[in-house]
Structure 1
Amino acid sequence: MHSFEDEWQESEPANVQPTPRTNYSARVYHASTSRGNRGHNNETNWRSRGDASGGDHQRNRDTRRGQAGWEGNKKIINVVSNNVGRIIGKGGSKIRDLQFESQAKIKIGDSSGAETAITLIGTDEAISKVEDMIKELLEDRRGPVKETLNNSDNTSEFFKQNDSGVQVIDWDKLNAFYDEQQQSRWQNLPPIIKNFYKEDPTVTNMTPAEVTRWRLANNDIQVKRTFDDKPDLSPIPNPVVTFEQAFKQYPEILDEIYKQGFQNPSPIQSQAWPVLLKGEDLIGIAQTGTGKTLAFLLPALIHIEGQTIPKDKRKGPTVLIMAPTRELAIQIDREVSKYTYKAIRSVCLYGGGDRREQIKALSKGVDIVIATPGRLNDLVVTGYLNVINFSYIVLDEADRMLDMGFEPQIKKSLYDVRPDRQTVMTSATWPPGVRRLAQSYMKDPIQVNVGSLDLAAVHTVTQKIMFVEEDDKEAALIEFLINMDENDKVIIFCGKKATATHITTELCLKGIECQSLHGDRDQIDREEALAEMVDGTVNILVATDVASRGIDIKNLTHVINLDFPRHIEEYVHRVGRTGRAGKTGIALSFISRNDWGHARELIKILEEANQEIPDELELMAKRFEAMKLRRDQEGGGGRGRGGRGGRGRRDRW
């Protein structure tokens, strides 16, 4: 399973018991490490540390400047001692946030009793602000009470005596009762209208040979029913080749497309739009940067407007789009905002964002929910969001969500979703986990593969390899950045947050402007980093793999793999940040002897994209394979990937 080291960690809401004194809801921030000792670290083994905190020097300077204003009035409030930990936060992270945002000082008293006295120091305005923030933080996180299956308290019928005479739950009866109640709930829901497609005569008249030639010429598109192709299922629709063929019946949609300046549909869009407009479930497998977002978004807008009950009379949102990372969720939300259609509104739900504001937006009424699995699960479990009303569901970057371990949250959140919904799944790869997810949530899906199912990098990127020793990587990177063109735009991928922090600090000390994006940075800082990269304020972004998928930075010219990723799939997605929308790009990977375990996989990627394969890379691959063969013959295990085998032993690479 993918390591969580470089991903934002979203968790289920804490099971906090309400107290008589405070009944306020809180924004809860999850920090994977303490924020102490940020900035430049003088330890020489910075590259080996995987849990060092990030470096936001400006924020700490601002906090210290604010301390000068802490002299002033005092106010003491009492808080239940069990809740003090929520004010302090992990490693003191929350109390620092509270002091920074309010410019008030917080002193925690003795917490050994039932209540703890907390002293607030500062101006009247600062004290009032921090008091409100603490009240909000300690508010009961539970949402509205969920509806129960029935109003009866008689549950004795769901128990039975086992062979030993002990009373146990009769799971067969309980499950049957639950299924009956769910069927009753679903039957009371309004029917879903899913078919909005009127095929253009030109598309209808395409012969099978013409369709085959078109699919072959457009990245060898493969289209099929994923599972059994039942005889009563409708035939797979032909692709559309113009926007007008897909949306002639929806001129407002066409107008919005024209505003964006697109010339022709991308291959995935050409084949996906007829499938989705017909109301079929779809699995879209394509590389990053191929237009998958628009492929599922425009049919979603038509689906929302086309239902029998008006939007303002529905009991909840209509469309749910799940994304693996906050950045991708925010980017999808921005895509939605570009298309003004029938006053459709959306909300973006993600951990690290203001939970209270997100709940407020939901309560005002929205049509589209874009969410990361952790925050979605939070709001579903606490009753603020009922998934039974969703009739169009998208699992975007499904392989990434599984890699990050979100399958339990997905299943828990979608437990009540109605079975007659329309479901879309996008993925860059087709591993067994994604297939399992498709079997669980989709009905007779049509699978559209753009290109081979084999792992492949985009062909508009030139992939270059540089062989360097581990200790020489930093100098090689700085030399490249000093000599880069002023119009170049670069993402530097690091394997660890500590590495990203160190590189960012070193570049700043050398006067090289840059931004950083990794899991130790606050959400507001991450958004600012991405915004400055997008608008051109800075041209260098130092990042971990949180930026390897879904991030779309216009005119990105270079991707630099300072550290080779742990999984070859991440290499493909990193490379896919450049060479997008028909433009070209360069990917430069620093390879050291520690990366020899990836050499053979990398060669396959380079061969598929017709890239130059260095002789040294071939030699690395052969040496690694010979080492593994020797170990197998000796009956040893060891750690071949890093070149070490057994205790006190190093294989010659």
Structure 2
Amino acid sequence: MSDWESDCDDYYSTLSQNRTPPQQNFQSRGSYSGQSQRGGQYSRNITTARGRGYFRGNNKVISIPSTKVGRVIGRGGLKIRDLEYESEARIKIGNSAGDNTDITLFGTNSAIEKVEQMIKDLTIDKEASKKQNLQSASSAETASQVSVYEKFTYVNSEGKKVTDWAAASAYADQVQREMWDKLPPIVKNFYNEDPTIAVMPPNEVAYWRLCNFDIKVTRIPENWEAEAIPNPVLTFEQAFKDYPEILDEIRKQQFTKPSPIQSQAWPVLLKGEDMIGIAQTGTGKTLAFLLPALIHIEGQPTPREKRPGPTVLILAPTRELAIQIQREVNKYHYKGINSVCIYGGADRREQIDSISKGVDIVIATPGRLIDLIKANHIDTAHFSYIVLDEADRMLDMGFGPQINVCFLNVRPEHQCVMTSATWPSAVRQLADKYMHNPIYINVGSMDLAAVHTVTQKVMVVMEEEKDTILLDFIRNMDPTDKVLIFCAKKNTAADVTANLACKGYYCESLHGDRDQSDREAALEDIMNGTVNILVATDVASRGIDIKDLTHVINLDFPLKIEEYVHRIGRTGRAGKTGIALSLVTKYDWANAGELIKILEEAHQEVPSELREMADRFEAKKSTSKHGRGGRGRGRRPQW
């Protein structure tokens, strides 16, 4: 029994002993309930929210020990959802006040019979079953497992039975390698270099890279003896001349030429190399890894319909970025390749149905991907092309452990792509762990910088002036303007949206407290022009591509200066220009110095009040270092 199953069983055992009367306890906990408290018995029912017709049809009541209810429910209701999905029955769990709990099963006779057996299998005493199997030797599988366990167990000099974990780990690695060896081979090199590109002299290549945002290209480690780094392509035809259907799809998007990151990335990825792409937001990184992925999918020796699982995995830090990537994937139709976007908050069953029917590309957030891996709906061993998009953001959000879990079963010869806006040590360590001598492509300076297509305006204001300034801006908007307003907190975003609506301005909000369907609807409304004002938190700072977004307003300045760059990068995309207005208060003084550097690098006006703010902060910091007061970086200034 796993630790979490044991915890669930202990919890429900304690609950059944101590809860009197049960109705009051359920009301106080307020969980696992889909029924109204206004009438009828208030019983735990995870699944009643699916509609009035949910309980129609045949039904059967079975009883299990209350201490075993946790096994049926599972963590966060995961197991009960799987039971319903696999059996096509519906499950209602009754009160657990006594020693036993009634469970009502709904559905066809065959579905009820199937789910009843599944529940029995879950709730039998696993330890007793194991002993019985060992004694009778009726299970060859169990006996095999025991023999493996005994293989690495011995009695030490003190007479104690111990396990050689190093040997056991080596054996596990051997089993995994044997499993990988049974998988079909991977083809990664699809590049046929254009003759014009092949004969480009090194000085011409270096000059092109210098003129295109001073692109830096190297292999990691630099002293690795491998094939030379391919030259950049200058046209779409030079990259995809052997794939006319890809060229047709590109022409439909009416692009004139590749972006710098695309020019250098396509030859690298088409050759099957691992790649790290460092570039500012809005520079075309998604298309840089997507088109080679399509070719990789179609080019594998095993036909797509005979593959046991999806071929491409794209991991993204946020739901919004995952959805945006899928929108980009859906623009390009090649050989019937299809995709699914899986993330928390959306219908899990629909996502599982899509995977079971067969998909080629999985676009996922780490949490939901791990959910489906643990439920055996996805096997990562079959992925041969893996993308970590916005890797720095994923690590900032604490997804490092989840990424490790996602890679546990991935075959070692996979092709890996990592994109990032910055190159911190944590991202380097991630690359060292999962990439094989990757080619590193950095477009632009390593220093933090904003895109030069955005006019940056900064106002140093009092906190109480913000609402007036925002309202004055909105009153003077042109009908064709679209504005994205960033707030620091979810409740601030909700309040701003409500206040604007009360004043007659139709707008939408995007933040973590909204249901996923509402978040998607808000994005759809701003993208299709139903509304032209979107109020959001930093969930919208990366990966959101809103066509014709003219303005970004930082109503609250972000805590990290990196987020400022990503926020204002929502406008001025795809060669267009935009305006970013940032309202800075004295409480933002810790970021004043870095903000000045970004403004100066982009040749923007720097307010004298901002320079004064930066000087005050540096003076305060210097005083603090010498032990003469101060509370450290980011504290409120004593003005």
Q: TM-score range with shorter-chain normalisation?
A: 0.7 to 0.9
Greater helix content: 2
Say which SS state the counterpart of residue 563 (structure 1) adopts: coil
Distance 1:86 1:598, change over 3 A: farther
> What's the CA shift string for 1:129-183, capped at 9, x where partnerless?
xxx9xx99xx98x9xxxxx999543111222445654333212101110121122
Say which SS state the counterpart of residue 276 (structure 1) adopts: helix
Distance 1:14 1:221, change over 3 A: farther
Q: After the TM superposition, which of the residue ranges 157-166 and 550-559 deviates more from structure 2?
A: 157-166
Say which SS state the counterpart of residue 246 (structure 1) adopts: helix
In 1, distance between residues paired with 2:590 and 2:561? 11
In 2, distance between residues paired with 1:261 and 1:306? 26
Match of 2:98 among 110, 113, 135: 113
In 2, distance between residues paired with 1:500 and 1:572? 20
Partner of residue 652, structure 1: 638
Write the letter of the residue equivalent to 2:282: G
Say which SS state the counterpart of residue 146 (structure 2) adopts: coil
Say which SS state the counterpart of residue 223 (structure 1) adopts: strand
Q: How many residues were matched structurally?
A: 556
Say which SS state the counterpart of residue 375 (structure 1) adopts: helix
Partner of residue 192, structure 1: 186
C-alpha contact (below 8 Å) 1:223/1:447 kept by paired residues: yes
Consecutive unaligned residues of structure 2, counting only runs of 5 or more, are 10-29, 32-48, 77-91, 123-140
Write the letter of the residue equivalent to 1:529: A
C-alpha contact (below 8 Å) 2:367/2:402 kept by paired residues: yes
In 2, distance between residues paired with 1:215 and 1:477? 42
Distance 1:469 1:225, change over 3 A: same
Say which SS state the counterpart of residue 335 (structure 2) adopts: coil
**What are the within-5 Å matches in structure 2 for residues 557-572 of structure 1?**
557-572=550-565
Write the letter of the residue equivalent to 1:652: Q
Q: Displacement, 1:652?
A: 2.5
Distance 1:16 1:213, change over 3 A: farther
Partner of residue 248, structure 1: 241
Partner of residue 128, structure 2: none
In 2, distance between residues paired with 1:267 and 1:511? 44
Tell me, yes or no, if structure 1 residue 589 matches structure 2 residue 582: yes
Q: Displacement, 1:413?
A: 1.4
Write the letter of the residue equivalent to 1:158: F
Partner of residue 362, structure 1: 355
C-alpha contact (below 8 Å) 2:623/2:630 kept by paired residues: no
Distance 1:516 1:116, change over 3 A: farther
In 2, distance between residues paired with 1:424 and 1:109? 49
Distance 1:176 1:498, change over 3 A: same
Q: Displacement, 1:434?
A: 0.5
Partner of residue 522, structure 2: 529
In 1, distance between residues paired with 2:286 and 2:301? 26
C-alpha contact (below 8 Å) 2:217/2:439 kept by paired residues: yes
Partner of residue 157, structure 1: 151
In 1, distance between residues paired with 2:100 and 2:325? 45
Say which SS state the counterpart of residue 153 (structure 1) adopts: helix
Match of 1:397 among 390, 393, 415: 390
Match of 1:552 among 545, 552, 575: 545
**What are the within-5 Å matches in structure 2 for residues 213-362 of structure 1?**
213-231=207-225, 233-362=226-355
Partner of residue 174, structure 1: 168
Structure-1-length-normalised TM-score: 0.79
In 1, distance between residues paired with 2:205 and 2:63? 69
Partner of residue 29, structure 1: none
C-alpha contact (below 8 Å) 1:595/1:641 kept by paired residues: yes
Partner of residue 87, structure 2: none
In 2, distance between residues paired with 1:77 and 1:516? 45
C-alpha contact (below 8 Å) 2:589/2:613 kept by paired residues: yes
Distance 1:413 1:114, change over 3 A: farther
Distance 1:164 1:497, change over 3 A: farther
Q: Displacement, 1:539?
A: 0.4
Tell me, yes or no, if structure 1 residue 621 matches structure 2 residue 606: no
In 1, distance between residues paired with 2:523 and 2:71? 32
In 1, distance between residues paired with 2:505 and 2:627? 51
Say which SS state the counterpart of residue 440 (structure 2) adopts: strand
Partner of residue 208, structure 1: 202
Q: Displacement, 1:226?
A: 2.5
Write the letter of the residue equivalent to 2:583: F
C-alpha contact (below 8 Å) 2:5/2:71 kept by paired residues: no
Q: Displacement, 1:613?
A: 1.0
C-alpha contact (below 8 Å) 2:487/2:555 kept by paired residues: yes
In 2, distance between residues paired with 1:182 and 1:76? 43
Distance 1:226 1:507, change over 3 A: same
Say which SS state the counterpart of residue 590 (structure 1) adopts: strand
Write the letter of the residue equivalent to 1:309: T
Write the letter of the residue equivalent to 2:561: I
Write the letter of the residue equivalent to 1:227: P
C-alpha contact (below 8 Å) 1:377/1:410 kept by paired residues: no
In 1, distance between residues paired with 2:469 and 2:103? 52
Q: Displacement, 1:639?
A: 4.6
In 1, distance between residues paired with 2:103 and 2:470? 49
In 2, distance between residues paired with 1:290 and 1:151? 54
Q: Displacement, 1:210?
A: 0.9
Partner of residue 7, structure 1: none
In 1, distance between residues paired with 2:601 and 2:143? 59
In 2, distance between residues paired with 1:487 and 1:76? 60
Moved over 6 A (4+): 16-19, 75-87, 115-119
In 2, distance between residues paired with 1:203 and 1:438? 29
> What's the CA shift string for 1:175-215, capped at 9, x where partnerless?
11012112211222221111110111110121111111111
Structure-2-length-normalised TM-score: 0.80
Say which SS state the counterpart of residue 529 (structure 1) adopts: helix
Q: After the TM superposition, which of the residue ranges 213-222 and 541-550 deviates more from structure 2?
A: 213-222
Q: Displacement, 1:432?
A: 0.6
Partner of residue 455, structure 2: 462
> What's the CA shift string for 1:294-346, capped at 9, x where partnerless?
10000001111111110011111111111111111111111111111111111
Q: Displacement, 1:410?
A: 0.8
In 1, distance between residues paired with 2:201 and 2:444? 22
Q: Displacement, 1:17?
A: 9.5
> What's the CA shift string for 1:217-255, capped at 9, x where partnerless?
111111101223322x00000000100000000111111
Say which SS state the counterpart of residue 313 (structure 2) adopts: strand
Distance 1:462 1:78, change over 3 A: farther
C-alpha contact (below 8 Å) 1:84/1:116 kept by paired residues: no
Distance 1:331 1:16, change over 3 A: farther
C-alpha contact (below 8 Å) 1:108/1:117 kept by paired residues: yes
C-alpha contact (below 8 Å) 1:595/1:642 kept by paired residues: no
- Larger radius of gyration between Structure 1 and Structure 2: 2
C-alpha contact (below 8 Å) 1:456/1:572 kept by paired residues: yes
C-alpha contact (below 8 Å) 2:416/2:435 kept by paired residues: yes
Bigger relative CO (Cα 8 Å, ≥ 6 apart): 1
> What's the CA shift string for 1:622-644, capped at 9, x where partnerless?
1011111112222656254132x
Say which SS state the counterpart of residue 283 (structure 1) adopts: strand
In 2, distance between residues paired with 1:149 and 1:291? 53
**What are the within-5 Å matches in structure 2 for residues 73-88 of structure 1?**
none
In 2, distance between residues paired with 1:508 and 1:431? 41
Over the matched positions of the two proteins, sequence identity in percent amounts to 61
In 1, distance between residues paired with 2:518 and 2:5? 28
In 2, distance between residues paired with 1:640 and 1:487? 41
Say which SS state the counterpart of residue 626 (structure 2) adopts: helix
Write the letter of the residue equivalent to 2:599: L
Tell me, yes or no, if structure 1 residue 473 matches structure 2 residue 466: yes
